[in-house]
Amino acid sequence: MRRDATSRSHRARAGRTLRAGRATLAAACLAATSLAGCGLLETTGLKDRDPLLVTKDDAPDVAYEKARELFRAERWEDAENGFDRVWEDHPESPLAADARFYAAEARYGRGKYNGAFALYKRFLAVHPLSPHAPLIQRRLYDMGRFLVEEGQTGLLFSYSDEGIEMLDYLVSAFPNGDLADDALLYAADHEARTHKPERAIAHLHDLIDNYGGSEWVLEARLDLARAYRDVNRGSRYDGDTLAKSKAYYLSYIEIVSADAAREREYAEQLAAARTELAEVDEILARKMLETADFYLRTGRPEAARAELRNLLRDHPGTPSAAEAADRLGRTAEEDAGAVAPEGSQS
């Protein structure tokens, strides 16, 4: 639930975080278990004889111990194969569950993130309350962020969506975890930057509606206002989305302005929100002005005047409101001029 004060800067660190996680993977494995036998095979020449490779004749405890030694040596592929033999060939063994988890960890160590993701999911489906669950949550978050960012650099195709899938799975698997709200905001941030506002809206609503205590709710409100604004295709369309955008801008401004300390802290964001709100308000006002024009073209002047009056009520201070006031003034003068001759003859 906690990220750095500059919440966007974590994108640049996604790759470094993932590499650091892999660098300490073997140590984490040893710290997590206390089975005997670790460190007993560190004699010279073992690599040439390869006594650690798991064979089909190995008992599950022997195969597991060999795989752990391979894991500790960061021989990820051989470790993965060894752990696979344990949980696939001996599913009833007490070691099978841990073997499946460490097979996923070995794939993670190899940088095979989609393969690791698949195994993590299979593990959690059977062992949702495992002590390994918090580490899996962190792995999902780090892999998801990494793929989101690195996926945009692909020359032929983007695999960022695979990272979003991991973040979405994290939220569904760990809805009460420490990283669910971070994952939602991260996904929405990426989608906003890559011009997918509809997807961003879904993630931001999930964050605001289901994680009201998150420190990112305020930021999500401003992001949601912008996402609804970005869905807009012009003053003739999307009045509902623009109205929602305005509502979230107003909500954000009201919350920030209610506290003097917060108002100072968010002064830059607050100024930007007010400028953007004015732009949205003008688009909505222009939409009403165009509706009034339509009424005039179709011979409904009273409806046109009512629309202009509504514009003045709903969007005061906009350029279109000034134009509406001018039109109403001219209309009143024209009406008065049309009545005056008739009155003068009476």
Alpha-helical segments (H) within 73-216: 76-89, 96-110, 113-126, 133-150, 160-173, 180-193, 197-210
Residues 127 and 202 in one domain: yes
194 in a structural domain: yes
Residues 73 and 101 in one domain: yes
Reported as a single tens digit per residue, the pLDDT across 62-76 is 999 999 999 999 999
Cβ burial of 315 (10 Å; 0-12, 13-18, 19+) is: buried
Reported as a single tens digit per residue, the pLDDT across 258-278 is 999 999 999 999 999 999 999
Question: Which of 177, 211, 245 is the last residue before a domain boundary?
Answer: 211
> At 16, is the pLDDT very low, low, confident or very high (cuts 50, 70, 90)?
low
221 in a structural domain: no
Question: Which of 211, 245, 275 is the last residue before a domain boundary?
Answer: 211
Residues 147 and 73 in one domain: no
At residue 6, φ and ψ (nearest 5 deg) are -90, 90
Residue 2: its pLDDT value, please? 45
62 in a structural domain: yes
Residues 123 and 104 in one domain: no
Residues 95 and 124 in one domain: no
Residue 150: its pLDDT value, please? 87
Residues 94 and 131 in one domain: no
Encoding tokens for residue 122? 């299979």
CB contact burial 84-104 (16+ within 10 A = b; e otherwise): bbbbeebeebebbbbbbbbbb
Reported as a single tens digit per residue, the pLDDT across 279-325 is 999 999 999 999 999 999 999 999 999 999 999 999 999 999 999 99
Rounded to an integer, what distance in angstroms lies between the CA atom of residue 234 and that of residue 241? 11
Domain hosting residue 73, numbered range: 21-111
Residues 81 and 158 in one domain: no
> At 335, is the pLDDT very low, low, confident or very high (cuts 50, 70, 90)?
low
Residue 78: its pLDDT value, please? 95
303 in a structural domain: no
Length in residues, the chain: 346
The yes-or-no verdict on residue 33 having pLDDT over 50 is no
260 in a structural domain: no
Residues 97 and 150 in one domain: no
123 in a structural domain: yes
**Total structural domains within the chain:** 2
Instruction: Tell me which residue of 250, 237, 251 sits closest to 284, measured CA to CA.
Output: 237
Residue given tokens 């420490």 in the structure block? 178
Residues 146 and 104 in one domain: no
- Percent of the chain's residues with pLDDT above 70: 78
Rounded to an integer, what distance in angstroms lies between the CA atom of residue 346 and that of residue 138? 88
Residue given tokens 């993130």 in the structure block? 113
Which runs of E-coded beta strand occur in 7-103? Answer: none
339 in a structural domain: no
11 in a structural domain: no
Question: Which of 178, 194, 211 is the last residue before a domain boundary?
Answer: 211
